[in-house]
Chains A and B, each alone.
Chain A
């Protein structure tokens, strides 16, 4: 089992507040890694460091890119993390382009490829065949993901007008159009009903098992995390308190303490899932 991403001694301070404190973590390639922890534990901060939105105070984030060799993510600006390292994220509070159609959202995700093909818009303005071909490919790729995520009937609807659960799926489809080496999902099950979150499980397993994608997942919904994750890291107060397969983590006394407080009788953490 090779490691795709290795986080070493990551520290993120905001003034006097230490959001992440000396965190080390390995993300194995081709697996689903879950990150859990109570509210305010530093999970989203970890994502923001990973995807270039924050510059870590200290520590390294090494990505073993299958084609481009080792990339140090902490040195890259956010757009380069997505473009060059192909580490792509979704957001806890969905961030689609609401007035644009679902298809346009997925085409915008392929901006860099298309922009290169349009030669600073010159080839595009003239409608040269090279650009037309690139645009057709982009639409085909978008159509493929729309079909796999059962969204093709909604392709020409404005993304912002669609129901919440569907918007979550569109955001994942859009991220997939960037061809991620590492897909980071920030609470993809938040706000989903039980049926939708069961569908999400299926989707994540499909992406990982069938397509060999590496997924890093922040989630509060234990039915999702415990069922799909191969590997779970638990964070509390910015520190890693446990790491391992779901069954081991579930029974770890530190984890139970973090979720339920001290001196509690309950032995399973499913009970606290919101």
Chain B
């Protein structure tokens, strides 16, 4: 069977040439107006000039590029087929291998995350970017509950991020609450908004659900822009208090009767202290989120979310109250988004509706989808990529977003199920290790 498939896919040299010829022809047709003709300024008037030499170079590049690409793809496929044919690995072996790789990757990522500020303790840019990555990781993990696990497409997730940020900004500037006091309350408020959004869309699915959640995200933003008395309108809210280290401020001089962080530990004051503290703070918050979501996934409620994603009608037939399951997914996802929002407000010190546009929702959703729906480690990978690609792309100036889009298209072509599409079961009848040992014993 595999030989037939293999024969079907491998191309003869003539076919390869014809294939490349077609690509070159399409390139030529498109290239005549795009490259071949150009406007020039001749004494204040426009005239058309031709650049057929350049066009020929482009067409030749398309031709040879296509040849090389086909050749490389065929080679890759042949190798993969050969490997599949010779490999004796069973599904269980592969699952164990995948799981091990993901675990290893997780520990390496954690080690790197903890060590990063030590190596870059004087590089504010690196630590700041890493903090941004971690905010997106946390948002991705929150949205993963709603989209990845429960399968409810939410295009307005940024609303909960905004609710958390504004809740902290208002509680701290108006009522003088500290970061740690406001964190759980803001999370609860965001969860409340999650339930508020959840109720009207209980009966919706797919496209309709996406439209309503998109609308909800916009409504929150528009309210923030227009309700000037509460939110400061487009001017936002400024001078939001920064979180303190157990009551020790990160400041050059402490207010009367208090101590600064640097003073308490006998360090020279440095602006980097707060940056690094914020980094570790979001790292801890993100790790707590990870532990929380991973444990929930293995509990009845987590399995119910996944079952809901797989088949809602079957859920009902099993006696599950899908209303509760959906609302719990929205509430938990919103709460995590709210926590991230609190941190965002505390880090920036200033927030305005501009930080909570639809683009943010789209990026968070892209992180979840690109990472592989429901995969915790995938979110980390995708968040890192999506934050770092535009950062590295800064050198490319106006081509930055082009690069970003190209990277996303390439990833989806290469891995349509996301970077890490492997799903680890929440429980097993036979643990993988004993299953493997039993088989080896039988050999």
Binding site for B on A (CB under 8 A): 51-53, 78-84, 88-89, 91, 95-101, 103-104, 107-109, 111-112, 114-115, 118, 121, 124-125, 135, 139, 142-143, 146, 152, 155-158, 174-175, 178
Contacts and interface: CB of A to CB of B under 8 A. Distances in A.
Interface of B: 91-92, 292, 295-296, 299-301, 303-304, 306-307, 310-311, 313-322, 423, 425-430, 435
Nearest to B435: A156
Contacts of B314: 91, 95-97
A155 B431 CA distance: 11
Nearest to A143: B429
A59 B310 CA distance: 33
Contacts of B317: 51, 78, 82, 88-89, 91, 95, 175
Contact of A108 (B296, B304, B429, B430): B304
B428 A80 contact: no
B319 A111 contact: yes
A152 B307 CA distance: 21
A97 B307 contact: yes
A82 B430 CA distance: 29
Contact of A109 (B301, B318, B321): B318
Prevailing SS type, chain B contact patch:
helix
A19 B313 CA distance: 21
Nearest to B299: A124
21 contacts: A79-B318, A82-B317, A88-B318, A88-B319, A91-B317, A95-B314, A97-B310, A103-B425, A104-B303, A107-B303, A109-B318, A111-B320, A114-B300, A115-B300, A115-B304, A124-B295, A124-B301, A125-B296, A156-B430, A157-B91, A158-B423
Contact of B423 (A53, A99, A135): A99
Nearest to B373: A99
B320 A112 contact: yes
Contacts of A155: 428-430
Nearest to A85: B319
Nearest to B318: A109
A53 B316 CA distance: 9
A109 B299 CA distance: 13
A40 B216 CA distance: 42
A178 B318 contact: yes
B296 A121 contact: yes
Contacts of A158: 423
B66 to A, nearest CB: 36
Nearest to A114: B300
A174 B427 CA distance: 16
A138 to B, nearest CB: 9
